[in-house]
């Protein structure tokens, strides 16, 4: 989940924010690749701390996917 909170936006210029977000996405991808069945879902229309409010559909789908995967033999 990549997003800029208002504090970060005020403290860093746009090019710096883009570099920071690219680095976060790359770091998350490395973490995901180290985990069995890891998956990275990038949502660009919300912030990490607002995910459950802005995109409850994405949260519910992710939970359903984990439950379905765990139920497989």
Position 4 scores a pLDDT of 57
Q: Which residue has the higher pLDDT, 73 or 9?
A: 73
Confidence of residue 9 (pLDDT cuts 50, 70, 90): low
Q: Which residue has the higher pLDDT, 41 or 13?
A: 41
Specify whether the CB–CB gap between 16 and 4 falls below 8 A: no
Q: Is 13 helix (H, G, I), strand (E, B) or coil?
A: coil
Listed by start position, the domains of the chain span 6-71
Per 3-state DSSP, what percentage of the chain is helix, strand, and coil (rounded to 5)?
65, 0, 35
Average pLDDT of the chain, as a whole number: 86
Q: What is the mean pLDDT of residues 49-58?
A: 93
């Amino acid at each position: 989940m990549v997003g800029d909170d208002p504090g970060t936006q005020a403290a860093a210029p746009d090019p710096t924010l883009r570099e920071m977000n690219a680095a976060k996405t790359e770091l998350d991808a490395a973490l995901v690749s180290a985990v069995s069945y890891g998956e990275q879902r990038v949502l660009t229309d919300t912030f990490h701390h607002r995910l459950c409010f802005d995109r409850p559909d994405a949260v519910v789908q992710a939970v359903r996917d984990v439950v379905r995967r765990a139920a497989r033999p």
